Amino acid sequence: MSTSVVASEASSLDVRKVCDVQQNGIQKVIDLAAKYNPIAKKEGLEFMRLGMKTSQYITATQKSIKEGSKTVDIVNKKKKKTGTVTTEYAAWRACSFAITALQQASQAKTTWRMATPGDGFVY
């Protein structure tokens, strides 16, 4: 399956439903994130929140699941711990960030336009 097919598939997903950890289970949610994030990363669209990239959320969540931990450490780019979140929350963030990055890129292709003089756009 090509990346454009998978990216267009992501644009039709309902993030709230597919990334719902309680409804779908943590493993399925993190698997979705692992499916879509490499495409976002390849396109230069990977999200970064609280100092962590989506791929770091995925890796940390998978490690937490494997170890049976209930929390994921938030680390900055210097690998210094800046906080913790629950494993479920980290999985949700990873999933929603991976899919939303692709959705926003898809939407931008149809909604973006150049500002033209006289359209009221303030520079």
Question: If residue 83 lies in a helix (H) or strand (E), which one and from where to where?
Answer: strand 81-86
Inside any domain, residue 81: yes
Question: What pLDDT, on a 0 to 100 scale, did the predictor assign at position 28?
Answer: 95
Q: Is the pLDDT of residue 7 over 90?
A: no
Read off the tokens for 72. 């994921």
Inside any domain, residue 115: no
State which residues form the domain around 7: 3-109
Q: DSSP secondary structure string, 51-75?
A: TEEHHHHHHHHHHHHHHT-SEEEEE
Inside any domain, residue 116: no
Inside any domain, residue 37: yes
Inside any domain, residue 94: yes
How many domains are there within the chain? 1
Inside any domain, residue 121: no
User: Hey, which residues does 101 pair with through a beta bridge?
Assistant: none
pLDDT, tens only, 78-123: 888 888 999 999 999 999 999 999 998 888 877 776 666 666 666 5
Inside any domain, residue 119: no
Read off the tokens for 87. 């494993």
pLDDT, tens only, 64-89: 999 999 999 888 878 888 889 999 99
pTM, rounded to two decimals: 0.81
Q: Is the pLDDT of residue 54 over 60?
A: yes
How confident is residue 48, by pLDDT bands cut at 50, 70 and 90?
A: confident
Inside any domain, residue 118: no
Q: Are 98 and 30 in contact (CB under 8 A)?
A: no
